[in-house]
């Protein structure tokens, strides 16, 4: 057998190779860290992470809890879905609430600014309280440029901050999880996946997602070129009017800054076709907090954001 033929026989198909790489990352962290946790919002990326983690350790459950950093401005469908998934999967759910930090005076809410940035303080508090030393996040490099700079293992200092100029080299699948007391490592098992990979995996593996990822009718309001769902958390500005529309969400998050897109894609195949034709990333299309500045995400990540 030739060397090329042997390599060809050994190679996994694309989705299988991504899954195997992510499973390796989960096992590597479980073997080398003491207190990992998986960030879990119930969105498509955290659902794929949980699905891969369950497979990586089967028949035992994943050896770490999941953590939702809750802004309090959720889509009801997503929270109901989150609770059902953790109940069916048997993983332990921890919830860190931004409202607790607001009530304690640790953060201050700016009128009309949303609560996404406030999540940083709540996330860092939860990491310190539970002494987590590795935190799995669902960020992918194709989402936006700050996330494209991240390593799979990304060190955070004793203040939870990220220095993009001081990243460790990662050769092949060799990861460096060394850290000093008080530091922790953010781990991104889906770094090399794209939005299209996620949806292909969702379809092929029949990963269930919250219903708002598929086309449905709801009241929306147009603001700064984006469509926002009418929820109890969204305060209409003077002159703003809602209208019914058929929409779906490409990402889920704080309802006050997560937009939706007009779409009739009601199945995984239809969503896949829509994503393949799109020329705008999901964050560029539907996340108002990323439009604050050119370096909005990088600024938040330097402070300790996801």
Secondary structure, 3-state, 184-239: EEEECCCCCCCHHHHHHHHHHHCCCCCHHHCCEEEEEEEECCEEEECCCCCCCCCC
Neighbouring C-alpha atoms within 13 Å toward the C-beta of 9: 6
Cα(234)–Cα(232) distance, integer angstroms: 6
* DSSP-assigned states of every residue in 40-86: --SSHHHHHHHHHHHHHHTTSPPSS-EEEEE-S---HHHHHHHHHHH
Cα(37)–Cα(165) distance, integer angstroms: 26
Cα(81)–Cα(65) distance, integer angstroms: 17
Q: Say if CB 183 and CB 157 are below 8 A apart.
A: yes
In a structure prediction context, what are the per-residue pLDDT tens digits for the chain, which is 306 residues long? 455 555 555 566 677 899 999 999 999 999 999 999 999 999 999 999 999 999 999 999 999 999 999 999 999 999 999 999 999 999 999 999 999 999 999 999 887 777 888 999 999 999 999 999 999 999 999 888 888 888 999 999 999 999 988 889 998 889 999 999 999 999 999 999 999 999 999 999 999 999 999 999 999 999 988 999 999 888 898 999 999 999 999 998 888 889 999 999 999 999 999 999 988 878 666 666 655 555 677 778 888 888
Question: What is the pLDDT, as a whole number, of residue 94?
Answer: 98
Q: Say if CB 25 and CB 151 are below 8 A apart.
A: no
- Residue 153 pairs in a beta bridge with 187
Question: What is the pLDDT, as a whole number, of residue 117?
Answer: 85
Question: What is the pLDDT, as a whole number, of residue 183?
Answer: 94
Task: Residue 152: name the closest of 133, 172, 132, 179 by CA.
Answer: 172
Question: What is the pLDDT, as a whole number, of residue 300?
Answer: 80
């Amino acid at each position: 057998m030739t060397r090329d033929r042997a390599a060809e026989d050994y190679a996994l198909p694309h989705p299988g190779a991504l899954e195997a790489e992510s499973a390796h990352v989960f096992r590597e962290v479980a073997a080398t860290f003491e207190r990992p946790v998986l960030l879990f919002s119930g969105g498509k990326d955290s659902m794929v992470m949980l699905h891969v983690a369950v497979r990586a350790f089967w028949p035992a459950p994943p050896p770490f809890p999941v953590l939702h950093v809750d802004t309090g401005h959720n889509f009801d469908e997503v929270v109901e879905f989150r609770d059902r998934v953790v109940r069916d999967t048997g993983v332990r759910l921890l919830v860190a609430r931004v409202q607790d930090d607001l009530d304690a005076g640790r953060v201050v809410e700016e009128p009309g600014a949303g609560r996404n940035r406030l999540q940083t303080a709540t996330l860092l508090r939860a990491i310190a309280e539970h002494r987590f030393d590795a935190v799995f996040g669902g960020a992918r490099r194709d989402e936006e440029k700050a996330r494209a700079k991240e390593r799979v293992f990304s060190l955070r200092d004793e203040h939870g901050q990220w220095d993009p100029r001081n990243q460790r080299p990662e050769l092949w699948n060799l990861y460096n999880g060394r850290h000093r007391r008080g530091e922790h490592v953010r781990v991104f098992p889906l770094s090399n996946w794209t939005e299209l990979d996620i949806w292909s995996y969702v379809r092929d593996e029949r990963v269930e997602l919250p219903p708002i990822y598929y086309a449905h009718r709801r009241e929306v309001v147009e603001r700064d070129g984006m469509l926002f769902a009418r929820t109890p958390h969204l305060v209409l500005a003077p002159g703003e009017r809602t209208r019914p529309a058929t929409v779906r969400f490409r990402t889920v998050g704080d309802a006050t800054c997560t937009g939706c897109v007009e779409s009739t894609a009601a199945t995984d195949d239809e969503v896949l076709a829509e994503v393949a034709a799109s020329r705008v990333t999901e964050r560029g299309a539907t996340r108002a907090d990323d439009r604050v500045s050119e370096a909005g995400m990088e600024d938040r990540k330097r402070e300790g954001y996801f």
